[in-house]
């Protein structure tokens, strides 16, 4: 069993993409063009299904990112980016398959300053329609929840009934 300080963050990226980017950081026109291109060239790829409906996805993702950022700031976070890079805490077989076994980037959780990272239990995008319904956690809040399971992250995750804990990295300084 890994201790909390030994946990790893994992970013999954489709083999045809460049890792550690977020389409929401592009100017809107460029984001729509890229989404259209990726959806058209990968019609059977799960990772790009949302891009086929980008006119609906884009405003919902924008709203959700704004909510995540606002809530993180309320909790004391100091985001340096408008849109985070998404990771999971530890591995996710589901997302590894979702991104067709593509590129994985790993960071040690202990290397990230608490003011630059937030968490959601499950996909932060699963609550697009319910602004305010998503429970955003700080590093200390997540640590406290895991501690209630004897510092066993796997036991905590299993108790949630969700497939993974998403980490939102709000600073690019850790990936340079």
List average pLDDT for each run of 10 residues in the chain, which is 176 residues long: 90 89 96 92 76 90 94 97 96 80 90 97 71 80 96 93 93 93
Contact 172/83 with Cβ under 8 angstroms?
no
Count of beta carbons in the 10 Å neighbourhood of residue 163: 15
pTM: 0.91
What is the pLDDT at residue 17? 86
In a domain, 174, yes or no: no
Print the domain residue range for 107: 4-169
What is the pLDDT at residue 161? 86
| Domain count across the chain | 1
What is the pLDDT at residue 127? 60
What is the pLDDT at residue 145? 95
In a domain, 175, yes or no: no
In a domain, 148, yes or no: yes
What is the pLDDT at residue 133? 58
What is the pLDDT at residue 162? 86
Q: Residue 15 class from Cβ within 10 Å (0-12 exposed, 13-18 middle, 19+ buried)?
A: exposed
């Amino acid at each position: 069993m890994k201790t909390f300080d030994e946990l790893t963050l994992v970013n999954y990226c489709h083999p045809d993409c460049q890792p550690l980017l977020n389409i929401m950081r592009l100017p809107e026109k460029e984001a729509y063009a890229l989404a259209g291109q990726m959806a058209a060239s990968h019609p059977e790829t799960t990772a790009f299904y949302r891009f086929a409906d980008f006119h609906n996805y884009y405003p919902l993702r924008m709203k959700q990112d704004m909510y995540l950022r606002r809530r993180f700031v309320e909790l004391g976070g100091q985001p340096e980016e408008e849109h985070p890079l998404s990771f999971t805490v530890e591995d996710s077989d589901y997302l590894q398959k979702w991104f067709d076994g593509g590129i994985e980037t790993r960071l040690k959780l202990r290397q990230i300053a608490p003011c630059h990272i937030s968490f959601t239990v499950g996909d932060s995008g699963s609550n697009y329609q319910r602004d305010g319904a998503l429970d955003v956690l700080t590093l200390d809040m997540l640590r406290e929840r895991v501690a209630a399971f004897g510092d066993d992250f796997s036991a905590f995750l299993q108790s949630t009934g969700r497939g993974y804990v998403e980490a939102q990295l709000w600073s690019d300084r850790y990936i340079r």
